[in-house]
Structure 1
């Protein structure tokens, strides 16, 4: 018989990671259907711009508001999702959001003019904006801190795939069906999500302490973000007076919101103090810049493939598929390592891979081969999958369950703002480079991708401040 050690306490082995059982996976699949609809629909219309222009006899600038209106509505809805889930419960808020999104989808399909379509896209965006944050917070509450990292790593691949799948799905639909099916395709997915959620997703009680809705904050934050994005969009269209008014007014409203959030005696819609507390500040910066990089690139590449290489909408979508495959592979990798590898290591490695996959696009002016494009996109996809899940796990595992809806709303707001502001900024840069480069379209896009490289470097600087260890270690 072996002798027990004396004078020292034997080390207790670390408990194995909590198992993600089939019931939790089923709940995750149901909730991710809502995220899938909302994020795919943000880009599915991009390939239908020409079709809608002809259908409604509108200009490209007018029809572009079909996409912009949806994105601005999402920006407006995300901040309120945390309060709604905390007040009425996560499942109820999620179900209502799906219903609003489906109502907007039906109205869009019935639109009779460009103006009516833009208005109905706002309705659709208000529902879609609440789905990702509400679904993530509800899933984190159900999973518990021990399983949050692994389950979030599974579902977080969907927002990464959606910008890739949107143009591909949109191009396929327009190849076999009329334009209303760009919106009607949401109906069977949404109906299935509602039926399955009512049966399998448990009711999570709302916060025990009811807080009043921060109306003043809502009137400053959401419109301020929308006006700022509008101003940046106007710069891209070379309308400088509306751009100056929009950027100035938007920035002033956001400053006003920050001052209000610091001074109010109540609970602000988004607490500015959150961003000063580690690791939330570093996590927020990583997600903000990730949104700019992902959505900005998904704006640039389809446009480059169709204008610089004369590809069809479907062909452009297929060219983007390697990034989706890389994201899927990266999600599997993260799922297996998220409980074993330090969050900072995963995130910094992911940003490094995105940077590595972005640099080749700065050489588009030198006839970059298709094989290099495919490889670069695959590497970017793996890198993107290594950021979102670890960052969200860091935050979700370090806050109280009752605060999850507000934290999820803040994180998704930053990702959305990063995507919208990043896209608008890159559109301005691209337009200026096109003016300088003239007929050399490829070089204009190459110049613009240096800005994406800059976004990646900024994200890396913020990620170095993330924790080296997991919560509780």
Structure 2
């Protein structure tokens, strides 16, 4: 199978999702699983790492922040790399960079060295979800993309739940380097399986020059903006102001460059003005802010507001993972029949419903209510990502898939980063206002989550009314 290309598969795909395609999806989702879970698995070990390297919590927090910034910086280049070198080759290379970073992290001798190695790990991790999704969509073809994406899209939703559980379990039986060494056998297996079973999708016939100026503006601009917002939550006024102003200026410069350049920009700003991509982009951006912002708030509330350990907090979050799994099954059975707008708006409605109990944390709702609310949120989250991606992937040509996938993943990543930073600022202000009443401070912050969900709903109303089979 490795000797074949995906062109024939993409041109005339069978309607049935066969075992071979599911095997390919499983292999490619291993990369997404490692990249997304690594963003949360280390959060459990922050205190352990601070003790190991005699560093303050503020310093060691950069172990997580550096990874996030590297991911944000790497995503924009994924489309060009896949188009230039081929999807499978780029994906395997990204796995290799991620494993190199993981091994170096396990060998770190100080906090600064660990932070540098996390950047290397993040550069590989940032390429994996976008490259894997584009490759899978190309192999599946338009007729099967929706159903297969509905299966793999649940992985990023599970990682915030599984990360704390995995991290707590590892630290319970092994020293801290195993937080990173655990990636090595998974990554090695993914590379071997990919070489054997994943078709070798050829590079794009049209060779475009790398947009060096765009890369110098977009990736650093996003990273600097996220850094500035992160510093707002830390109370550092000057670094925050410099980061936000510089980040916005660089992103504005990239937009002007993208509109004026005669070459192919790293991410084409015009892409966001074309229906249904613009509506899909808005929905993913705001949804990322809501979902990932919530997954920042809840573990923090469970540990600071209820005094739970990181492992116990992970267990309490488990119903959301179960709900997401159930939602993916539902989407898999309806994605080719129901209108995209129906699925997405219903999903956002479920997230709103599941978020409401968290606006009442000041009244200390019982664990059963929290569990049900999280399960409802999980179902809703699963009903959004796959339909939105299916809309975009089914309406563009195979050559444009890598860049479109990179743009969608960039929006989701940036949305999650900005949402987390925004909610951290709101939470800090509410903690200052409420003093010792920690639950009420979290309850106030969750009203902002509801607001983000409403913005996502506004974007979703512009999605197509008709189901995929009726689209032109």
Match of 1:454 among 447, 451, 455: 451
1:96 aligns with 2:93: yes
CA distance in 2, matches of 1:64, 1:451: 25
CA distance in 1, matches of 2:219, 2:175: 34
Contact 2:345 2:457 in 1 (8 A): yes
1:255 aligns with 2:255: no
TM-score, structure 2 length as denominator?
A: 0.96
CA shift, 1:17, in A, is 8.3
1:166 aligns with 2:163: yes
Match of 2:240 among 237, 243, 249: 243
| Alignment match, 2:3 | none
CA distance in 2, matches of 1:164, 1:218: 33
Contact 1:98 1:128 in 2 (8 A): yes
Structure 2 runs not aligned, ≥5 long? 1-12
Contact 2:63 2:114 in 1 (8 A): yes
| Alignment match, 1:115 | 112
| Alignment match, 2:41 | 44
| Alignment match, 1:301 | 298
CA distance in 2, matches of 1:365, 1:27: 47
Match of 1:278 among 260, 266, 275: 275
Query: For residues 66-465 of structure 1, what are the structure 2 equivalents within 5 Å?
Result: 66-465=63-462
CA shift, 1:176, in A, is 1.1
Contact 2:31 2:128 in 1 (8 A): yes
Contact 2:337 2:468 in 1 (8 A): no
* Structure of higher CA gyration radius: 1
CA distance in 1, matches of 2:362, 2:53: 36
CA distance in 1, matches of 2:120, 2:292: 22
Structure 1 runs not aligned, ≥5 long? 1-15
What CA deviation, in whole Å up to 9, does each residue of 1:281-334 have, x standing for no partner?
000011111111111111111111010000011100100000000000000000
TM-score, structure 1 length as denominator?
A: 0.96
SS at 2:326 equivalent: helix
| Alignment match, 2:8 | none
CA distance in 2, matches of 1:324, 1:127: 25
CA distance in 1, matches of 2:154, 2:329: 9
1:54 aligns with 2:51: yes
Matched positions, count = 458
Contact 1:228 1:249 in 2 (8 A): yes
What CA deviation, in whole Å up to 9, does each residue of 1:54-77 have, x standing for no partner?
111111111111101000000000
CA distance in 1, matches of 2:94, 2:423: 31
